[in-house]
Amino acid sequence: METKFRKIGILTSGGDAPGMNCVIKSVTCAAIDKGVEVVGIIGGYSGLINDKIRPLTKNDVAGIVSHGGTFLYSDRCDEFKTEAGMQKAIATCKKHNIDGIVAIGGDGTFRGATDLSIRGIPCIGVTGTIDNDITASDITVGYDTAMNSVLTMGDALRDTCESHARCNVIEVMGRNAGYIAIETGLALGAIGVAVQEIPFDKESLFKRMNEARADGRRSFIVVVAEGLGAAFSEGLVKEIEERTGIETRFVRPAHIVRGGIPTLVDRNLALKSGYKAVELLLKGVSDVVICSRHDQIVPIEIKFALILDRMYKNKLKEDDLEGFTDKQLAEMKAICKERHDYFVDMYEVINGVNR
Ligand code: F6P
C-alpha cells in the first residue's frame, strides 16, 4: 500500500502562522524516511497553478523549526476557486508525479484540499492559522505563538499605563473569532474583554473602571477582538475617556503577532500533525484535516469540519446537514456547545478575577 506514493507535495496557503515551517519539516522528513519524494509548492495554490515546484530534502528543512512565517511562502488564490484554475493545478501534479498533497492553512485551504481530493489528487489538511477558528480542532498551529506575542506587548503596555495612570485598548487579530482576545485578556489582567461571541456590557466596564480608579487603581488594559470592527474599538477609546475621565490610548498590533519564533506548543502540535498527515496519506486516507481533540492528534473529515464551522457561526446553508448521520450531527452540536460554554466560562473568570 505504502509504495503507491512516489511524491508528496506540500503547500502553505492563506494567512501565514508561526509553526507552518515545523509542519513542512515534519512532512518532509517523515515522507523521505518512508521512501517518498517531497516537493514544496511555492506560494500556495497559485504555485500549483503556475507550476512553481521545488524538490525538498531533509537538509533543506533542517533548522527551520524556529523560523516564523512560511519557507514555502503563501497567498490567497482566487483563480484556484475556478474550474480552470483547478485543472491547471491538477496538470502540475500530473507533470511532477505528485500523488498527494499536504495543505497547511485554514478553512479556505481545506476547501481547496477537498476540491483537489474529489478530482483525484488525495489531500490532507493541517491547521495553520493564528485565529484558532477551526471548530473541529481545540487548537491550531500558530495560535499559541500569537497569544504569547500579544501577552508580551500587553505586559509592556501595562508598564507604561501604570507610569502614566492610563488605560490602553488593544485590538487583536482573530478575524471573526475571539479566542486570542479572550485568552490574552484573562492573562493580561484586562478589566474588559470584548469579543463577538458574547454581548459586551460597556456600562459594566465603565462602572468597574470608575470603582477601581476610586480605589486607587492606576492602570487598565482592555482587549478587543478585531472582528468587532475598527469603529467599535476606536470608539471605545473615546467612550472610556468620556465615561471615566481616564486617559486612554489605542494600539493595534495586527500582523506583528502573526510572525515570530513559534512556541513549543505550536512547534510540537505542528510536528505531530505533519507526521500524522504523512502516515495517513500513505495509507490511502484523504480529504481530512488533522485536528487536536482533547490532546489527541486525530483526522477529521474536511466536510465535517467545514460544516461544523458553519453550524458554530450560525451560517448553515440549506442542505448543509444532508448526508451526516445522527451521531455526527449530535457530535457537531456537542462541539458547538463546548465552544459556546468555553466563552461563557472565560467571561465569568475574567469578570471575577480581573477587577
Ligand atoms: O487569518 C489570519 C489573519 O491574520 C486574521 O487574523 C486577519 O483578520 C487576517 O488574517 C488578515 O489578513 P491579511 O493578511 O490579508 O491582511
User: Which secondary structure element, helix H or strand E, spans residue 159, and what is its range?
Assistant: helix 143-164
Q: Is residue 49 part of a domain?
A: yes
Would you state the cell numbers that stand for residue 305, as one nine-digit string?
A: 469540519
Q: What share of the chain is helix, strand, coil (3-state, %, to 5)?
A: 50, 15, 35
Alpha-carbon gap, residue 177 to 192, rounded angstroms: 17
pLDDT per residue over 181-232, tens digit each? 999 999 999 999 999 999 999 999 999 999 999 999 999 999 999 999 999 9
Q: Which residues contact 334 (CB under 8 A, 6 or more apart)?
A: none
The answer to whether residues 113 and 25 belong to one domain is: yes
* CA torsion, ordered 51, 56, 60, 62, to nearest 10 deg: 130
DSSP-assigned beta bridge partners for residue 105: 127
Q: Are the C-beta atoms of residues 68 and 145 closer than 8 Å to each other?
A: yes
- Locate 218 and state its grid cell: 492606576
Q: Are residues 209 and 346 in the same domain?
A: yes
Are 17 and 120 found together in one domain?
A: yes
Residue nearest to atom 14 of ligand 1 (CA): 15
336 is a domain residue: no
Average pLDDT over residues 21-40: 98
Q: What is the CATH number of the domain that holds 30?
A: 3.40.50.450
Q: Are residues 173 and 95 in the same domain?
A: no
The torsion region of residue 260 among left (phi > 0), alpha (psi -120 to 50) and beta comes to left
Cα 339 from Cα 311, distance rounded (Å): 12
Structural domain boundaries enclosing 254: 145-259+341-353
- How far apart CA 186 and CA 209 sit, in angstroms, is 16
Mean local confidence (pLDDT), 330-334: 98
In the DSSP assignment, the letter for residue 141 is: T
Residue 333 domain flag: no
Per-residue pLDDT tens over the stretch 167-184: 999 999 999 999 999 999
Query: From atom 8 of ligand 1, which residue's Cα is the shortest distance away?
Result: 175
- The phi, psi pair for 211, rounded to 5°, reads -65, -45
The rounded mean pLDDT for the chain is 96
Span 43-86, pLDDT tens digits? 999 999 999 999 999 999 999 999 999 999 999 999 999 999 99
**131 among known catalytic residues:** yes
**Is 240 part of any domain?**
yes
Q: Are residues 16 and 124 in the same domain?
A: yes
Residue nearest to atom 12 of ligand 1 (CA): 15
15 Cα: distance to centroid of ligand 1 (angstroms): 6
pLDDT at 331 over 70: yes
Within a domain: residue 332? no
- Does one domain contain both 115 and 219? no
Indicate the pLDDT class of residue 118, thresholds 50, 70 and 90.
very high
Distance CA 157, CA 171 (A): 13
Q: Is residue 185 located within the same domain as residue 249?
A: yes
Query: Per-residue DSSP letters for 191-218?
Result: SEEE-TTS---HHHHHHHHHHHHHTT--
Q: Rounded to whole angstroms, how far apart are CA atoms 243 and 205? A: 10
Ligand 1 test: best mutation among 13, 16, 107, 130, most atoms within 8 Å of CB? 130
Name the β-bridge partners of 284: none
Residue 343 has pLDDT above 70, yes or no: yes
User: How distant, in Å, are the alpha carbons of 10, 32, 36, 80, 304 from that of 6?
Assistant: 14, 10, 5, 24, 29
C-alpha cell at 69: 512565517
Residues 153, 134: one domain? no
Does 236 have pLDDT greater than 90? yes
The answer on pLDDT for 136 being more than 80 is yes
For residues 123 and 180, state if they share a domain: no
Domain assignment present for 326: no
Closest by alpha carbon to 153, among 233, 252, 239, 247? 252
Does residue 129 line the site of ligand 1, with CB under 6 A? yes
Q: Return the closest-CA partner of residue 253 out of 160, 169, 347, 161.
A: 169
Same domain assignment for residues 150 and 136? no
Would the CB of 173 count as within 6 Å of ligand 1?
yes
Is residue 99 within 6 Å of ligand 1 at its C-beta?
A: no
In short, whether 175's Cβ falls inside 6 Å of ligand 1 is: yes
Q: Kindly state the percentage of the chain with pLDDT values over 70.
A: 99
The predicted structure's pLDDT at residue 5:
86
Position 327 in a domain: no
The widest CA-to-CA distance across the chain, in whole angstroms, is 72
Give the model's confidence band at 354: pLDDT under 50 very low, under 70 low, under 90 confident, else very high: confident
The domain total for the chain is 2
Q: Please indicate whether residue 258, judged by its CB atom, sits closer than 6 Å to ligand 1.
A: yes
Please say whether the dihedral angle defined by the alpha carbons of residues 19, 22, 28 and 34, taken in this order, is positive or negative.
negative
Question: For residue 133, is it within any domain?
Answer: yes
Cell numbers representing residue 122 in the block: 488525495
All three cell numbers of 119: 478530482
- CATH number for the domain spanning 194: value is 3.40.50.460
| Ligand 1 in reach of 36 Cβ (< 6 A) | no
Substitution candidate for ligand 1 out of 132, 133, 184, 258 with most atoms within 8 A of CB: 258
Q: 250 with 166: CB under 8 angstroms?
A: no
Task: Pick the range with the lowest mean pLDDT from 2-11, 166-175, 290-299, 345-354.
Answer: 2-11
Kindly report the number of other CB atoms within 10 A of residue 146's CB atom. Answer: 33
Residues 249 and 282 in one domain: no
What is the average pLDDT across 138-155? Answer: 98
Torsions phi, psi of 259, nearest 5?
A: -110, -170
**Ligand 1 neighbour 174 (Cβ under 6 A):** yes
Q: Is the pLDDT of residue 4 over 90?
A: no
* Ligand 1 atom closest to the CA of 226, numbered from 1: 8
Q: Which atom of ligand 1 is nearest to the CA of 255?
A: 4
- Above 80 in pLDDT, residue 355? no
Contacts of 180 (CB under 8 A, 6+ apart): 130, 131, 132, 143, 146, 147, 150, 172, 173, 174, 225, 257
Same domain, 93 and 40: yes
Q: Point out the catalytic residue in the list 16, 107, 115, 131.
A: 131
Cell of 5: 506514493
pLDDT(2) > 70 = no
